[in-house]
Amino acid sequence: MTGPGAGGVARQARGDVAVDELKDAPVTVVGTGVSGAAAARALLRLGARVTVVDAGDGPPAQAAAAELRAAGAAVQLGGLPTAVGAARLVVTSPGVPPGTPLFAAARAAGVPVWGEIELGWRIRPAARWLAITGTNGKTTTTEMLGAILTAAGRRAATAGNIGTPVVTAALAEPPYDTLAVELSSFQLHYTETAVPVAAAILNVAPDHLDWHGGPDGYAADKARIWMHPATIAVGNADDPGSAALLAAAPGRRVTFGLDPATAEVTVVDGWLVDRAFGGGPLVAVADLLAGPRPDGSAQGGSAQGAPGPGRHLVANALAAAALARADGVEPAAIASALAAYRPGAHRNALVTTVDGVRYVDDSKATNPHAAAASLTAYPSVVWIAGGLNKGLAFDELVELAAGRLRAVVLIGRCADEIAAALARHAPDVPMERAAGMDDAVEAAARLARAGDTVLLAPAAASMDMFRDYAERGDLFAAAAGRRGQVGAAPGVVPPGGQSRGG
């Protein structure tokens, strides 16, 4: 991959290809999932001769392969080729590691390797993108921004890591006015030429280190969202990782955050205020936090000194507002959209209350940084944790949460790693292990007392036991719901529920 700042000369040396040159050209697409399938269909519309390859050959891959073959693509399952063959271009799904032999062979042959995001940008390079990345909070912030753009009367969509695949949005007719684009570190790694109007890095904490080769590689891929000087860089003054990357951004730099002494889009006297783009007061914090707190009391007050979950939701709203103002959205649209917004399912979602015990689904907490935001929201927690670790340590998380833990129930492949951290930092906290989600909820219910919160905040990925984080959360909600009458609907969240991802 060419690093940030590398220009057209390097791309030409690799044998770069223009989108209008793809008619009748052989192209290899890696992956039959949502991103790969969307890229393959877009390339077929462009007239390319498409071969889709996938290392898997299970039922989902077989079903996708049948649809792609019907659309005109050749499909090979059960392994990736190690040679690039006749392909003039390789387009990869974002989760495929950069060390894959096919990519090395492509580079050696001078064949470019793009991600689906890169392909989407090249299809419609004049598109207006407002882009968002970060370790946590991406989805919530992107959803907020999409709601703002719609309230402003724009033909808009959320795209990228959520919503519509970027290649699909790029081919939409009539074209979208603006896209709110969520970008993971995987997607950014394979993106080279995209130029968002403005882009935010919400926060940077260790995640996906096994894929990126370490924290420096992970942060560097996040920083690619700001690689072009024409992009307004929106950074979090409250997050050291985001602030450090912002200091090196080549374009205009704008800060958001809860401290008005350090941030331009911030909170003053209980209001979200834009001091970067002249928008002034935008919306009252009390209107953002209209839902109940974790203790059931009414929400309100300013973000300064607000409880942990409120602070996270306010920070997400500040980032969305900053991006919207960077693209000229009027304050009234921002106010109406943010006042009406409610985060989605699996993000600190209260699913039921039984015998005074609240059951909260935060399955989207797929890393320790995200789980910390959940654990600090509740005074007494029976924590269901574990899954597929991504090369991360749990000591800091356990040490932070130790005083709030009534008990812990461990599931998944990294149960031993969390158990070891508990032994070091919370040795007196009762701990049990469970073979599946039903067992975990049963154990948690037995350990909980009235006033406690049984919290699914796994701090790890889901794929060792479940299809994805949504299935994990759905199974938790179903098991909890069987214990009594369901209270709040999934998706009705304590303030601060946020997206968790790469």
Rounded Cα distance, 203 and 219, in Å: 10
Residue 139 labeled ligand binder: yes
Residue 134 labeled ligand binder: yes
Residue 140 labeled ligand binder: yes
Degrees, nearest 5: CA angle 150-153-156:
45
Residue type, 242: S
Residue 297: DSSP 8-state:
P
Rounded Cα distance, 213 and 341, in Å: 37
Q: Looking up tokens 């992970």, which residue turns up?
A: 218
* Structure tokens given for 279: 């928008």
CB 497 within 8 A of CB 310: no
CB 2 within 8 A of CB 11: yes
Residue 158 labeled ligand binder: no
Q: Looking up tokens 């928008």, which residue turns up?
A: 279
Collapsing DSSP to helix, strand or coil, 147 comes out as helix
Residue 376 labeled ligand binder: no
Residue 135 labeled ligand binder: yes
Question: Would you report the helix, strand and coil content of the chain in percent, each value rounded to 5?
Answer: 35, 20, 45
Rounded Cα distance, 241 and 253, in Å: 15
CB 278 within 8 A of CB 335: no
Rounded Cα distance, 496 and 499, in Å: 10
Residue 231 labeled ligand binder: no
**Known binding positions:** 134-140
**Known binding positions for ATP:** 134-140
